[in-house]
Amino acid sequence: MTYSLTRRTVLFVYALLVLVPLVVVVAGSFKTTQQLFASPFGLPSSLDAGNYRTVLGEAGLGVAFRNSAIVTGCSVPLTLFIGSLAAYGISRIPGWKGGLVYGFLILGMAVPAQANMIPQYVLFDLLGLTNSLAGLVLVNIVVTLPIAVFIMTGFLKTLPREMFEATAIDGSGPWRTYRSIVLPLSVPSLAATAIFLFVMHWNDLLYPLLFIQEPGKQTLPVALLSFQGEFLTDFPLLFTGVVVASAPIVLAYVFLQRYFVAGITAGSVKG
Return the half-sphere exposure (C-beta side, CA atoms, 13 A cut-off) of residue 123.
8
Nearer to other proteins, 86 or 217 (CB): 86
Nearer to other proteins, 185 or 249 (CB): 249
- Restricted to residues 239-268, the positions that interact with other proteins (CB under 8 A) are 239, 241-242, 245-246, 249-250, 253, 257, 260-261, 264-265, 268
Provide, rounded to whole angstroms, the least separation between the CB of residue 79 and other proteins: 9
- Restricted to residues 63-122, the positions that interact with other proteins (CB under 8 A) are 82-83, 85-86, 88-90, 92-95, 97, 99, 101-102, 104-105, 108, 110-122
Provide, rounded to whole angstroms, the least separation between the CB of residue 52 and other proteins: 16
Nearer to other proteins, 117 or 181 (CB): 117
**Strand blocks (E) in the chain:** none
Fill in the amino acid letter for 172. S
- Restricted to residues 216-235, the positions that interact with other proteins (CB under 8 A) are 220-221, 224-225, 227-229, 235
Q: Of these, 130, 210, 212, 217, which contacts other proteins (CB under 8 A)?
A: 210
Burial class for 255, CB neighbours closer than 10 Å (0-12, 13-18, 19+): exposed
Question: Nearest-5° angle of CA 122, CA 204, CA 107?
Answer: 65
d(CA 11, CA 9): 6
Q: Of these, 62, 154, 185, 234, which contacts other proteins (CB under 8 A)?
A: 154
Instruction: Report the candidate in 121, 148, 139 with the shortest Cα–Cα distance to residue 213.
Output: 121
Burial class for 182, CB neighbours closer than 10 Å (0-12, 13-18, 19+): buried
- Restricted to residues 158-177, the positions that interact with other proteins (CB under 8 A) are 158, 161, 165, 168-169, 173-175
Provide, rounded to whole angstroms, the least separation between the CB of residue 61 and other proteins: 12
Q: Of these, 18, 47, 126, 187, which contacts other proteins (CB under 8 A)?
A: 18
CB-based contacts of 246, cutoff 8 Å, min separation 6 = none
Q: Work out whether 37 is an interface residue with other proteins (CB under 8 A).
A: yes
Instruction: Report the candidate in 63, 19, 16, 39 with the shortest Cα–Cα distance to residue 236.
Output: 39
Provide, rounded to whole angstroms, the least separation between the CB of residue 13 and other proteins: 11
Classified as helix, coil or strand, 2 is helix
